[in-house]
A and B are shown apart, each in its own frame.
Chain A
Amino acid sequence: MELLEVDQAEKSYNIRKFGNSYRLMAVNDVSFSLKKGSCVGLVGESGCGKSTLGRLITGLEKPTKGQVRFLGESVYSATKRGRKLPFAGKIQMVFQDSYDAVNPRYTAEQIVEEPLRNLMHLSVKERKMKVSELLRKVGIPDSEKNKYAMEFSGGQLQRVCIARALACEPQLLVLDEPLSSLDVSVQAQILNLLGDIKDEGNLSYLLISHDLEAIYYLADSIIVMYGGQIMEQIDDISLFYEMKHPYTKMLLSSIPSYRNQEEKSETAESIWMDLGVQKEGYTGCPYYGRCPEGKEVCKQKRPEIRKIRKGQTVACHMIDD
């Protein structure tokens, strides 16, 4: 059985403006699955629905349509009283802004202790030991465990957050842009830490990021999202440079070091995504407006996601099998 199955998940929001209300399809018909022990990288620009997808997977949000299943069971069960999440502790999340992700009144110890207190029946002594062990694992010395959240640096606090996420031996860790609020040197440290933790246990990652280099470093497979939909998907990182979709190519060429900047011209593109493509009722390809290869058919019809070779699927009219 797959660890995680996302089955035609859809999340839409009502956007109300004066005289101009519509439904925004934040996540539109997304399906994929995640194997135990693997790391899926989810790439896309701001507003493409990748964070919403992360929240759907953790069960924090309820999909409008479709389902998210963890070990065969739906992650969102609205019937439970007090809305205690059914997979609390087993599915964990690391957030983008670590200062926002911890209660400012808590010390590092209390932060890491919280899931243990809620989910595990441990004596106080066992709990304290477990907290120290977790903090040591992420590189926070014991002497700092009584510091308040605001007294840590961003990188350190992100480590504390990772320790909290690891507390209940989770099986799936959703990393929602865990690096983007950190400076570059710290990013590398956190990335290494995540890599080490992954090698240790049978933990699976869903790494949400717009940093392709981080994804390349950590992920085994990649999903590229645009406008709430999956544009391209590869099952093996070795196909990284073989990705075909025009949007993916644009993303790749935006890495400064990639291929000696041969396709420099496109990288400067700074057009914001037109939110119109995410309105309910839009039928064309969401990338049409920015796509250099866009044709009439792209405007009319949404491209089906299809397999172009083993381990690679693309949603584009312009790519031949």
Chain B
Amino acid sequence: MNLKKFFKKLMKRKMTVFFGVIILVIVLAGILAPLIAPHDPLEQNLELKFSMPSAEYPMGTDHLGRCIFSRVLFATRTTLGFSMLCTVLAAVIGITLGIIAGYKGGVTDTIIMRLCDVLYAFPGIVLVMAIVGVIGVGIFNIIIAMLILQWLWYARVSRNLAASEKVRSYVAAARLCGASDWKIIFRHILPNIIPNMLAIFTVDFGHTIMSISGYSFLGLGVQAPQAEWGAMINEGRNYINADPWMMFWPGIMILLVVVSVNIIGDHMRDALDGQSS
């Protein structure tokens, strides 16, 4: 489907627009964090620890007296940035391999798809733990470990779409018009499967945020004192009875972003289904 039409259709639903705006605001806040944040996210002030929300500290302070609001803002950069990096890499790897498999067919297809099947058999968390256990803790190691399983979705779906586009006569026509395989892939097949990939990408982005935060919560990803939503929840865990604010703010951010992204992703899928009928 035409990308322009796809977005037009998407924007017809008020819910999509609403959640789109939420995402936009959060992303903008993350980008503009140094301008908006009232304090340095790492600045400690032990005299003011566990203060309630106030004009000075809009979301209160944590156990080291750091401004939670500033930390949440800066954590947006970490969490969304790393999640985006991870998802984009997975999408690029997956779509590339998927299109190659679907377009080439034959042995190439079999090898790539069987590799997918084998990797599917690994339980995600266990694999990530094992890899991080070997190469060490840290956000980049987590991303590498997650990538090993994450490209599979893209590969599977893009492979099937590419295979079904390939047999359509416009691909034959393009070959008769002197297009090489690469031109056919880039000018014809890829643009035609992009909307579908975008829908998967959106949903997957939500999952990745959960994973990155989750692994940071477990202490495997982003390391203290850098701010990250999952890590912040972990820090607040010890003080849940005394000062639930510490967990509440990053938690609500994860909830907001993931819910919004998932709903937009669902609506994208609906918009795609609608066009096929």
Residues of A within 8 A of B (CB): 55, 58, 60, 82-85, 88-89, 91-93, 95-97, 100-105, 114-115, 118-119, 148, 161, 164-165, 167-168
Contact = CB atoms under 8 A, between A and B. Distances in A.
B192 A104 contact: yes
A58 B180 contact: no
A83 B181 contact: yes
A118 B186 CA distance: 14
Contacts of A88: 175-179
Contact of B178 (A55, A101, A115, A165): A115
Contacts of B177: 88-89, 114-115, 118-119, 164, 167-168
Given A103-B192, A104-B1, A105-B192, A97 B178 contact: no
A94 to B, nearest CB: 9
Contacts of B183: 118
A84 B179 CA distance: 6
Contacts, number: 79
Range for the number of chain B residues in contact with chain A: 20 to 34
Interface in B46-79: none
Given A83-B181, A118-B183, A148-B2, A101 B176 contact: no
Given A88-B178, A97-B169, A168-B177, 14 more contacts: A58-B176, A60-B176, A82-B181, A83-B175, A83-B180, A84-B180, A88-B176, A95-B172, A100-B170, A101-B169, A105-B191, A115-B176, A119-B177, A164-B173
B131 interface: no
Interface of B: 1-3, 168-170, 172-183, 187-188, 191-192
B146 to A, nearest CB: 33
Given A82-B182, A119-B177, A101 B191 contact: no
Contact of A100 (B2, B169, B175): B169
A101 B181 contact: no
B173 A95 contact: yes
Contact of A91 (B1, B3, B176, B187): B176
A93 B8 CA distance: 35
Contacts of B188: 103
A85 B182 contact: no
A44 to B, nearest CB: 19
Contacts of A58: 172, 176
Contacts of B173: 93, 95, 101-102, 161, 164
A118 B178 contact: yes
28 contacts: A58-B172, A60-B175, A84-B175, A84-B178, A84-B179, A84-B180, A85-B176, A85-B178, A88-B175, A88-B176, A88-B178, A93-B172, A97-B169, A100-B168, A100-B169, A101-B170, A103-B191, A103-B192, A104-B1, A104-B2, A105-B3, A115-B177, A115-B178, A118-B177, A118-B178, A119-B177, A161-B173, A168-B178
Contacts of B174: 103, 114
